[in-house]
Amino acid sequence: MLDLNAHPHLRRLYRIARLRVSVGFVVAVFALLLARPTWLSITTGGVIAALGEGIRVWAAGHLEKGREVTRSGPYRLMRHPLYVGSFVIGIGFTIAFASGVATAVVVTYLVVMLVVAIRLEEATLRDAFGEEYDRYARGALPVSERRFSFERVLANREHHAWLGFAAALVILWTKVK
C-alpha cells in the first residue's frame, strides 16, 4: 500500500482525488444547467461520448484492478484507457452541451482530475508492482492475450457509467427547443 505520509506531494494529490466524484457531480449539474443543446449537438456529441464509453468498456473487460499490471486489450496500446475513455466522453458531452462556459468548466475539471488520478495511479502501481510496472510503462513487457470479459466489465462497475451517460442524454433531450 502506498504510504502517503512518506510522499507529501502524493498526499495532496490524494486529497484532490477524493473530491473527484462529488466535484464531478457538481460540474455535471452546472454544465447541464448551462447547456443549450440542439439535435445536431446531441447527436454529434453523443456519438463521440459513446466512442469514449466504448473505450472504457473495452478497458474494463480486460482490467484486473489491483491484481496485476494489465497488458491486454487497450492496455497494449495505452497505459490509461479508462481515463482516455473518460476524456473522450467529456469532450463528447461538451459538444452536446453547446455552451462555451459549460465546455470550459468541464474541460478544466477533466484535465485537473485526470492528471491527478493518473499520477496517483502510477505511484500506486509502481509501489505495488515495482519493476514490472516500470517495464510496462516503458513498453518493455510482452502483451497479454487475455480475452475480453463482460463479467469483468460488471465487476469493474462500468454499468454505473452507463446510467450516468443515459441520464445526461435524457436531460439534454428535454432541453432541446
Q: What is the pLDDT of residues 46-56, one digit of tens each?
A: 999 999 999 99
Q: How confident is the model at residue 36 (pLDDT cuts 50, 70, 90)?
A: very high
Q: What is the pLDDT of residues 83-121, one digit of tens each?
A: 999 999 999 999 999 999 999 999 999 999 999 999 999
Position 1 scores a pLDDT of: 67
Position 2 scores a pLDDT of: 67
Q: Are 142 and 71 in contact (CB under 8 A)?
A: yes
CA distance 109 to 60: 23
Q: Are 84 and 117 in contact (CB under 8 A)?
A: no
| Of 56, 84, 90, residue with least CA distance to 162 | 56
pTM: 0.93
Average pLDDT score over the chain: 94
The average pLDDT across 21-40 equals 96
Give the total number of structural domains in the chain: 1
DSSP character string of 71-95 = -SGGGGT-S-HHHHHHHHHHHHHHH
CA dihedral 58, 87, 18, 97 (to 10 degrees): -120
Q: What is the pLDDT of residues 143-166, one digit of tens each?
A: 898 999 999 999 999 999 999 999
Position 4 scores a pLDDT of: 66
**Looking at residue 158, which CATH number applies to its domain?**
1.20.120
Spatial neighbors of 34 by CB under 8 A, at least 6 apart, are 97, 99, 101, 102, 105
CA distances from 74 to 56, 58, 65, 87, 138 (A): 9, 7, 14, 15, 16
Is 70 exceeded by the pLDDT of residue 12?
A: yes
CA distance 151 to 153: 5
Range(s) of the domain holding residue 107: 4-175
